[in-house]
Chains A and B, each alone.
Chain A
Amino acid sequence: MDTTSHRGRIWVLTDKSGTLIEDIDTDQIFHNAFLHITELAEMGQYALGNLEGWKDFPKKAKPGDIVAAGRNFGAGSSRQQAVDCFIALKVDAILAPSYSSIYFRNAVNSGFPILRCGELDSLTAGRKLESGDEVEVDFLSGKGFNLTKNSAFSVEPMSAVQREIFREGNLFAFGRSFGR
């Protein structure tokens, strides 16, 4: 992939009170009832299928959308499908203050832009970022801009290894780039 910045509509995963949902675990993202699925194309329909208030996400999501979530996103299982279901829907990036270690790795290894954004809680609480806003994020510089609200924010730029895997496409292509 050449482009290091992405513009798209954002979904901010909040609860009924408008607070960012923390500790969203992989059974809420991609339930274990569907763990037997190995085809990427079949995975999208189950994205967030067990997250209260967001079960209709696959119907609402459009290619190019961005997802924002609370801290410790992707807790729980090692299932790659919890990343792949977003890739299947052609979601283009995920933002959260932090992630479970395994989830973060899985996304990085798939070449899927997963970015840490420490400001998300305050942006959400201050209604400076809401579902439906059009935002632009530069994965390398970490610069973010909310075009709907005309306000800037920042994310942590990709680390060196994340950048290299992203550039090559995924861990397999990255490995081949240096003969592994």
Chain B
Amino acid sequence: MGNTVIEKIIQAHTADEVAPGRIVWMDLDIRSARDFGGPNVVKNYEREYAGLPLADKSKTYFTFDLCAPACTLKYADNQQACRDFARRNGVEVYDVDSGVGTHVLMEGGLARANGTVVGTDSHMNILGAIGAFGQGMGDVDVTFAFRTGRTWFEVPESVRVVLKGTFKKPTSAKDLTLYLLKVLGTKKIALRSAEFTGPAVAGLSLAGRLTLCSMVTEMAGIIGFIPECGAEARKEIESYTKTPYSPFSPDGDAGYAETIEVDVQGLSPQVAAPPSPTNVKPAVELRGTKIDSGFIGSCTNGRFEDFAEAARLLIGRKVKKGIMLKIVPATRRVYKELLARGILQDLFEAGAIVVNPGCGGCAEGHVGLTGKGEVQISTGNRNFAGKQGKGQTYLASPAVVAASCILGHIAGPEDL
């Protein structure tokens, strides 16, 4: 029997026999830690491995994206503890000016197809979008990886998710992703590696691929891959890696635990209502729900085209008085492109609040927090109770967030 994508990547990084359910020792190409988790890694390292060298400093990175620049004294201390450790050990830091670590590692050509990448970010598996095995890990795992360059891993089963049909704008990759959350929930691909296939994903841009792969975490999956890749996405990936994009493809006789078919023909915009990313409804069913604030950004929807799509709707219009629209580009590179193409000016003129790159409201550090009674519509990936504060968070596409902020209630572009 042939192999799936995850099995091929793992096999390329271990001498052990690879099969679902087996535990292997796997080499890690990139080991990283953020300003959350990173300080714990430093503390663990100095307690467990004092005086001992890193396995390979050139494969070890810090990426600060959570509270950037630090807005609390604790984060300032924690970031500086990581910087000091990095300087002592010759490790590169993508500091508070850089943006979301996974995106930065991708844009820097460090995370690459068929590689293994770990870090203290549960959305590390977003790198499935470029054919890499990214995996979020806790500070014990990452400390061990810093020192040894390896970890143990249980080879997951693979599941094939076949998407039937196509959809048109303004339905986007985010709507597709939310719909899949509705259909797959947190059970169907739980603890498995998913391979998405079909015309609805084959031609996705890199931004769209990132959106889908990021939320495999919310589906409780290990990682998602999209073996087919359109020309536009390929071109962007190659612009980062400077080498031809040639990810592993699954064998024709690869062994899948299950094949799941999902019909997405003519899909309409979708919204996840609180308190869970799987609580998804067609946007029209929630139309009219009053909002107080909007957020566009995060690892899920923080790419150039996400903001360009919002700007397309906001040009010549205004964010409704009393509504806050917060804009957080994923990376410095995205920010630069938005500046160069005049998009930031468009968003500013429309009344949006534009801040520096980072993770945004997914953790307490940056922008995107909600007060008690506040209703937020966000392009982020989680809306669990209390996560971003005591308010209620709805998850949607950049187009739906932009339209909602113009009208002051949940709406689609067709309502403008």
Contact = CB atoms under 8 A, between A and B. Distances in A.
Contacts of A36: 36, 39, 72, 74-75, 77-78
A27 B384 contact: yes
Interface residues of A, number: 39
A171 B220 CA distance: 24
Which of the listed residues A28, A36, A71, A83 has the most CB atoms from chain B within 10 Å of its own CB? A36
Interface string B38-75: 01100110001100000000000000001000001011
A50 B36 contact: no
A110 B363 contact: no
Nearest to A39: B43
Interface residues of B, number: 51
B158 to A, nearest CB: 14
Contact of B190 (A98, A106, A160): A98
B120 interface: yes
A59 interface: no
Contacts of B74: 36
A170 B121 CA distance: 21
B203 interface: no
B276 interface: yes
Nearest to A164: B152
A32 B359 CA distance: 13
Contacts of A172: 44, 48-49, 140, 143-144
Interface string A51-85: 01000000000000000000110011111110100
A105 B217 CA distance: 15
Interface in A77-124: 77-81, 83, 98, 100-102, 105-106, 109-110
B239 interface: no
A74 to B, nearest CB: 10
A73 to B, nearest CB: 11
Nearest to B76: A36
Given A23-B276, A50-B386, A180-B150, A170 B122 contact: no
Interface string B143-170: 1100110101010100000000000000
A83 B139 CA distance: 11
A76 B138 CA distance: 12
A171 B40 CA distance: 15
Interface string B357-391: 00000111000000000000000001011110000
A1 B136 CA distance: 28
Nearest to A25: B384
A98 B185 CA distance: 15
A28 B75 contact: no
Contact of A106 (B23, B72, B141, B154): B141
Given A35-B363, A72-B186, A109-B138, A161 B48 contact: no
B190 A159 contact: no
26 contacts: A23-B186, A28-B386, A31-B386, A35-B66, A36-B36, A36-B39, A36-B72, A38-B78, A72-B186, A77-B122, A77-B136, A77-B363, A78-B138, A79-B120, A80-B37, A81-B40, A98-B191, A100-B220, A105-B141, A106-B140, A110-B140, A161-B23, A171-B140, A172-B48, A172-B49, A172-B140
Interface of A: 22-23, 25, 27-28, 31-33, 35-36, 38, 50, 52, 71-72, 75-81, 83, 98, 100-102, 105-106, 109-110, 159-161, 170-172, 175, 180
Interface of B: 23, 36-37, 39-40, 43-44, 48-49, 66, 72, 74-75, 77-78, 120-122, 124, 135-141, 143-144, 147-148, 150, 152, 154, 156, 186-187, 190-191, 217-218, 220, 222, 276, 362-364, 382, 384-387
Given A33-B364, A38-B40, 5 more contacts: A35-B36, A36-B39, A72-B187, A72-B190, A172-B143
Which 9 A-B pairs rank lowest in CB-CB distance, beginning with the nearest? A80-B138, A106-B138, A36-B74, A78-B136, A109-B140, A32-B363, A78-B122, A172-B48, A80-B139
